[in-house]
Structure 1
Amino acid sequence: MNKSELIDAIAADAGISKGAAKKALESFVNNVSGSLAKGGRVSLVGFGSFSVSERAAREGRNPQSGETIKIAAKKVVKFKPGAELDGGVNS
């Protein structure tokens, strides 16, 4: 499912226009992104939790030349599915 298909599904399920569904989805994404950028955590019971963790600097290899390169430390977003989501996929 891509973004436009998700917007169509939200609009159909909620009985709202596609424009309203698009605004709602964009608001959700912006608010989750904003909270994570501030170092927060977003937890949706039954769906899952978004959090930020730090990945340490490390050495890697350039696959074309085989030469060793340094990969900088960075922050990454992690998602842990909730019990209902995990159960729905694995049932």
Structure 2
Amino acid sequence: MTITKADILDDVSEKFGLEPKESKDLLELFFEEIRCILGDEECSELKFSGFGNFNLRDKKARPGRNPKTGEDVLIKKRRVVTFHAGLKLKTLIENGNEKCSKLKNNQ
């Protein structure tokens, strides 16, 4: 089962008694804030207690190969983001969660 942003918006609207547009604006603001933080050159980690950490890493340029043609290419240096789940999230995923099961059944 895939949960979409629209599903989350519907759930937030219902739980907090918000209009759908208000929920959308709130969620978009949240995502934009995360994008701005992760886009900051000085940021290397974004922590959400009980959820997990987003880590930023700079990868060096390196030689690579085009798998179709076999041609050697240079893979440019770049910044990548990784996510590491926190203990609470790992435990929830491993053991399931009654609250989350109820949410899935309501959709």
Q: Which TM-score band (shorter chain)?
A: 0.7 to 0.9
TM-score (norm 2): 0.76
* Gapped regions of structure 1 (runs ≥ 5): none
Task: Tell me how far 1:66 sits from its aligned partner.
Answer: 1.0
Q: Which structure: larger Rg?
A: 2
Deviations 1:36-67 (A, max 9, x none): 11132321110111221111211221121111
* Gapped regions of structure 2 (runs ≥ 5): 96-107
User: What is the number of equivalent residue pairs in this alignment?
Assistant: 91
Residue number in structure 1 paired with 2:6: 4
Residue number in structure 2 paired with 1:22: 24
TM-score (norm 1): 0.88
Percent identity reads: 29
Q: Which has the higher contact order (CA 8 A, sep 6+)?
A: 1
Residue number in structure 1 paired with 2:73: 69
- Secondary structure (helix, strand or coil) at the match of 1:90 reads helix
CA–CA distance in 2 between the matches of 1:49 and 1:8?
Answer: 26
CA–CA distance in 1 between the matches of 2:25 and 2:75?
Answer: 37
